[in-house]
Each structure stands twice: as C-alpha cells, then as structure tokens.
Amino acid sequence: MSAPTRPSPGLRVEELRGFRIGVTSDRRSDDLVSALQRRGAQVLHAPALKIVPNEQDAALVEETRALIARRPEVVLVTTGYGVRRWFEVADAAGLGAALTAVLDQAQIFARGPKAVGAVRAAGLLDAQLSETDTTAALVDAVSRQGLTNRRVAIQLHGFTDAEQLRRLEEVSAEVVTITPYRWVRPSGNERLARLIESACSHQLDAITYTSAPGAAATLETARSIGLGHEFVRAHTEHVTAAAVGPVTARPLVEAGIVPIVPERYRLGALIRLVCEDLAHHHVQVYRAHDTLIEVRGRSVSVGGRTVLLGPNALALFTTLAASPGVVSRAELVAALPEPLDDHALEVAVSRLRRALDVPGLIGTVIRRGYRFTGVPA
C-alpha cells in the first residue's frame, strides 16, 4: 500500500476546519465572518473601532454648504464609503445637485479604485486614480501636477492623517475638509482584549485587519493591557497577520509585524490568501506506522478520528512533532502557554499519549526528555 500524501490545499468548504481566526473589523464584518465560518473556521469577532456617522448629520451638511460656497478647484477623495454617505446626506438636505455641479468643475483625485468607482457612480466621470492607495499619494498629486496655491477640498476617512493634512495646507491656498463619518471605540471593548489574550496564549491562528485605524487601535489596546510585546511576538511566531492592503498593513509593519497582503486589495482576495497561507504553513501531516496524524490549527486528527486538545496539550504535541530529536523538559515547559512543574509536565505528557492513542508515538528518553517518533507524511 502506498504511503498517504499530504492533501492539496484547494478552496474547499472545510479548508479552514480546525483553525481559529480573529476578525477586528466592524464594517462589512458580517461578510468576512460568514465567509470564514463557511470554510470551517471558528471566528472570534472583536471590532477594534466602529464607524459611526456624524451626529444627526448636521456637521456634514454645514461642511457641504461651506464647500459649495468656496467652490474648490481640486478635490481629494479617500474612501468610496465616504463618498456614498456624503452624497446620501447631501441629497437628503437638498444639496445634491449643487454639490454635483461644484465637483463637476473641480479636478478630482481618488485614493484607490473603490473611491474612483464611488465618484463615478455619483455622475462625476473624470476622477483620477492616485498612483498608490494612500492619502500621501493624493497630496503628492497636487504638487506633481502643478496644482499648488489652489482651493482644495479633502474628504477625510474617519481617522485624520494629521501629517498629510499639514502637507496639504502648506501647498494650498485654502483647504476645506469633509468628514462623512468617524471612528469610535465600541462600548464594552472587552472582546478585543480577549482576542489579544487569545493570540498571546496560542489560541488563534490568524487575525484579519481591514483598516489602518483598526490595526493601530488593536496594537494600542494590546499595549494598554500590558501585552504589547507579547502580541507582536505572537504574530512573529504563530499567528498570521492578514491585512487587506498596504495602507492597513502600515501600523503593523511599524510595530514589527510582517502581515500577508493580497495582490488585489479586496475582501475576497484577503479571504483566499488567509486560506492559502494557513493551508501551506499551518497544516502538518505525520505518519506513525499506518496511522496518519494531521494537525490543522487547533484540531488534531488521528487516523480520521478528531482529538480535542487543550492549549498545553496542543503546544506539547506541536513542539515535540517539530523537533527531529529529543526535546528536553525545559524546552517543553518554555513552549507552553501555561507553565508547569516537572510532575505536572509528566502528567500532561501522559494525558497527551492517552488522547492520541498511538502506541510509541511519544517516547521517554530517561534523564533527557521526550522524543516524537512520527515522520512527516
């Protein structure tokens, strides 16, 4: 009989079975959570920030009136959602036609294809796409195309980039800001703290990030609860960070985390990339005689039988399986999310052997430690 081979990681309904994934987004989070769950993942949803409209839209209406009165020559658009909401409020206030007429006479630059699409959907067909999907690129376009000393309007995206706004003010005669929505921290943000703690205690396999403010807020929360260093280390050791685009990735990179980023900055592409990364890097298959043992995130399958392991047991198994030789007691204890003394370690190894029920899979090397006898399949 030929030896079993490792399954090919295609897009399958159960491809995320055994994996636990954290979701930090608020807007469109239902789509993301549902897509991950349909693929078999267990999802821990903890929004880092929440998008809320400006209270009663009064401030946005006044900003729109001011923009119409000032008739900007250049308009910078940062988000598609912001444009859509801006026009919804303007139409409701009876300002839609006047706003369209003013913007139709302006030179419009949009940050990313979604922003371009929203501008064009509003009937404004000459929006230009910035070279990169950043607010800095929009400001660069003003200078590069000789549009300095003009009246400029910029649609902010809920989390003001003070540095880019300052740069814009330096090269413009006047800057008008429009804020269709803003970010706030959700009330009762204990869920985010639990997500961070889960990542640090080896209870998450991946975390998705869909906005730069959300990524920054997650890191800030980790620091505020005393887990900043541990949270970054978790991403470098066992938790995949997945960012929807380079702008979202920037706060993570600055903190020392290297996230995976899809080539197309879309939710669907992010989901596919998470599936591919976990399948390639977080699925291990071993063979012990005629028994196939597969580790998929939190789940261990032994000869087709699913074995539920707690955090310490799973850490023991993965540490032993990853080593080609003897693993000392000190090395095992250091790998555990919950430290154990010598006696407790012996008990934990004994329970792991009983749970796996594969004779000889974990051998004891007297006075040295333990050895995993399975081989990669």
Q: What percent of the chain has pLDDT over 90?
A: 60
Distance CA 25, CA 32 (A): 9
pLDDT number for residue 352: 93
Confidence of residue 127 (pLDDT cuts 50, 70, 90): confident
Output the average pLDDT for the chain.
Answer: 89
Distance CA 127, CA 224 (A): 41
pLDDT number for residue 311: 83
Q: What is the mean pLDDT of residues 19-41?
A: 92
pLDDT number for residue 269: 93
In degrees rounded to 5, what are phi and psi of residue 358? -125, 100
**Strand pairing category for 42-45 and 128-129:** unpaired
Token pair listed for 15: 């491809």
Token pair listed for 3: 């030896």
23 versus 311: the higher-pLDDT residue is 23
The pLDDT tens digits for 313-365 are 888 998 999 888 999 999 998 888 777 888 889 999 999 999 999 999 999 99
Which stretch of 5-19, 213-227, 354-368 has the lowest confidence by average pLDDT? 5-19
Q: What is the mean pLDDT of residues 239-250?
A: 93
Is residue 10's pLDDT more than 50? no
The pLDDT tens digits for 302-326 are 988 888 888 888 889 989 998 889 9
- Domains delineated in the chain: 20-49+186-281 (3.40.50.10090), 54-170 (3.40.50.10090), 283-376 (1.10.10.10)
Catalogue the long-range contacts made by 297-300 (C-beta closer than 8 Å, 24 or more residues apart): 297/16, 297/18, 297/19, 297/20, 297/205, 298/18, 298/19, 298/20, 298/42, 298/203, 298/205, 299/17, 299/18, 299/19, 300/356
The pLDDT tens digits for 39-90 are 999 999 999 998 877 666 888 999 999 999 999 999 999 989 899 999 999 9
Looking at the whole model, is its pTM more than 0.85? no
